[in-house]
Structure 1
Amino acid sequence: MKKATISIYHDARRALDDGRFPVKLRVYFGRAKLYETGISASFEEFEKAYINPVQREKHREGYAQTTLHDGGSG
């Protein structure tokens, strides 16, 4: 039986009006398909939000919590 693989994908192909890029859900099940999440992030925000947890512990001092922004609802 095939299993689906899911990952978070920072779609840097085209910037949104605010200069951020959409964050999508990539699902592999025979082929890759991207799903909208309604979340956008700059390169820096995405990197900080999805950095390896081991690295996050190493760099906790001075690490600023980054909040990803949804598509402009607030």
Structure 2
Amino acid sequence: MLKKFLYSFYALSLIVMLLGMDDVYAQNNNNDMNNQVADNADDDNDWGWIGLLGLAGLLGLRRRDDRRD
């Protein structure tokens, strides 16, 4: 019962998040000065690969199915 409720809640919250995104873009007045200023301090380094390595490192922590029925 609880598992069905949680699946329904997660599905409903995902739908609400996806449908609620239209209002965010409607308020954009093409003033992206904050984005330009925030992106200038990266010294041309792409740090996204560190996150990918971290996710790859988590693969070793997954649970093994050792049950034999």
Q: Under a length normalisation based on structure 2, what TM-score does the superposition of the two structures give? A: 0.25
Structure with greater helix percent: 2
User: Which is higher, the Rg of structure 1 or of structure 2?
Assistant: 2
Q: Under a length normalisation based on structure 1, what TM-score does the superposition of the two structures give? A: 0.24
| Larger relative contact order (CA 8 Å, sep ≥ 6) | 1
